[in-house]
């Protein structure tokens, strides 16, 4: 089975790697520590990690969203005396982690899921426990941990309907992988049922860590978004629409909205910063006067600020009159509405919130978010919310109540992990 998976993974890697390499090149800094993705590490790094005075945890966080959650888990593990190594998959996640991690946490790139790089990564890190997040399950990674009798925890675990269908078709593979997970901490009851269905031996419903991550955290980089808008000449009374984590197609819709509502100032934060050139070109075609957060230069009376930096979305949410969360009107899956709602401003999302199904359902039931179906409804929602302060306050109050009911997943997750890790203490196999 493992050989068959590795063969299929190799074929997929060969076919898809040109596209991945192109994306990495566009995002920049792809050369930095690139060989770590194949389990090749510098002598200095080997020497530093060879010193292991106590237990060590290995956390994997794919990108920016998972890094924000990882910071909570890392703080809790360090309080309990564990050393931590964090790996990320994307360069944006790596950049954010490097900026915010404590000095004693080692940051690496996650190895490709070939047996040799995975073994070398385990040899280097020598973890006492491994923590994966959400749906980040790599078979060779999990199998190697099982071979070394290292407990593997899948936290904030979710399984979308699409993933469940894929797992059902590849049951011969995923049942073997899930069977080697020590503990699954699921976001929702539906997620928990899906993981039990595919053979995870222990599944606990802990809630969604995104609620905890949405709260203000000490030590985060702070900027003054209000001063930035003042410097651009945006009056305090002017409605501000902050569009976060937008995807291709949504900027087109938002620029059309500006034409219909010129009184609105748009703060546009695309999900991927490397899309900046194409968004600039689109703004020119649409006749939208836009300036850039970084290297923008003087622009007279801009209608839009394009935030071409990483890790500042949460700060810009604070100055919103209304927030639109992207990858929900065009695209599939949606983005995190909790972080947006925690800013104290009303949130609009589109119909495509599959990756946040349980969260969206709870927010909708409570009247804590506005869901629109198309650009026409988006325009009307922005107009209604911009004009009606009482409506904005009602939605914000409902959202705060939802968030208050759901915080605490971090503590529940950590307690379960520590107990399970203690129960897992058995002699290691000789390698």
Active site residues: 66
Q: Are strands 83-88 and 56-61 parallel, antiparallel or unpaired?
A: parallel
E strands present in 247-375: 265-270, 290-292, 304-306, 322-325, 347-349, 370-371
Q: Which residues are bridge partners to 132 per DSSP?
A: 154
3-state secondary structure labels for all residues of 129-192: EEEEECCCCCHHHHHHHHHCCCCEEEEEECCCHHHHHHHHHCHHHHHHHHCCCCEEEECCHHHH
C-alpha to C-alpha distance for 156 and 176, rounded to whole angstroms: 21
C-alpha to C-alpha distance for 40 and 112, rounded to whole angstroms: 11
**Full DSSP string of 186-224:** ESSHHHHHHHHHTT-S-EEE---HHHHHHS--TT-----
Q: What is the DSSP letter of 333?
A: S
Output the six-digit token pair for 241: 């629409």
Output the six-digit token pair for 347: 């949130």
Rg of the chain on CA atoms, in Å: 22
C-alpha to C-alpha distance for 146 and 196, rounded to whole angstroms: 19
102 CB burial (10 A radius; 0-12, 13-18, 19+): exposed
C-alpha to C-alpha distance for 173 and 184, rounded to whole angstroms: 18
């Amino acid at each position: 089975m493992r050989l068959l998976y590795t063969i299929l993974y190799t074929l997929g890697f060969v076919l898809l790697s040109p596209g991945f390499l192109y994306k990495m090149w566009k995002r920049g800094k792809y050369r930095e520590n690139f060989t770590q993705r194949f389990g090749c590490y510098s002598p200095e790094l080997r020497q530093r990690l060879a010193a292991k005075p106590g237990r060590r945890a290995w956390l994997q966080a794919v990108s920016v969203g998972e890094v924000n959650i990882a910071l909570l888990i890392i703080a809790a593990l360090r309080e309990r005396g564990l050393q931590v190594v964090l790996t990320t998959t994307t360069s944006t996640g790596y950049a954010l982690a490097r900026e915010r991690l404590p000095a004693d946490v080692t940051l690496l790139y996650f190895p490709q899921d070939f047996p040799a790089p995975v073994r070398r990564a385990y040899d280097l890190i020598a973890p006492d426990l491994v923590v994966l997040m959400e749906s980040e399950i790599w078979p060779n990674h999990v199998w190697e941990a099982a071979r070394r009798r290292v407990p593997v925890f899948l936290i904030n675990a979710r399984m979308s309907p699409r993933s469940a269908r894929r797992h059902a078709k590849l049951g011969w593979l995923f049942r073997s992988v899930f069977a080697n997970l020590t503990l699954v901490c699921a976001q929702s009851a539906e997620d928990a049922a899906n993981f039990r269905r595919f053979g995870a031996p222990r599944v606990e419903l802990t809630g969604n860590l995104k609620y905890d991550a949405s709260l203000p955290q000490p030590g985060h980089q702070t900027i003054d978004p209000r001063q930035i808008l003042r410097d651009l000449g945006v009056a305090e009374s002017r409605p501000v629409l902050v569009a976060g984590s937008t995807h291709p197609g949504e900027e087109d819709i938002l620029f059309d909205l500006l034409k219909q509502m010129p009184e609105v100032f748009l703060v546009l934060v695309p999900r991927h910063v490397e899309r900046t050139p194409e968004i600039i070109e689109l703004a020119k075609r649409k006749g939208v006067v836009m300036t850039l957060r970084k290297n923008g230069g003087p622009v007279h009376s801009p209608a839009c600020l394009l935030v071409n930096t990483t890790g500042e979305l949460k700060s810009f949410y604070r100055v919103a009159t209304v927030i639109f969360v992207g990858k929900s009107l065009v695209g599939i899956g949606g983005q995190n509405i909790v972080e947006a709602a925690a800013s104290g401003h009303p949130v609009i999302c589109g119909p495509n919130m599959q990756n946040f199904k349980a969260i969206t359902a709870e927010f909708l039931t409570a009247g804590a978010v506005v869901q629109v179906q198309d650009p026409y409804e988006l325009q009307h929602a922005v107009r209604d919310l911009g004009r009606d302060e009482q409506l904005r306050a009602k939605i914000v109050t409902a959202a705060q109540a939802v968030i208050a009911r759901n915080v605490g997943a971090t503590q529940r997750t950590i307690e379960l992990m520590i107990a399970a890790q203690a129960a897992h203490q058995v002699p290691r196999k000789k390698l």
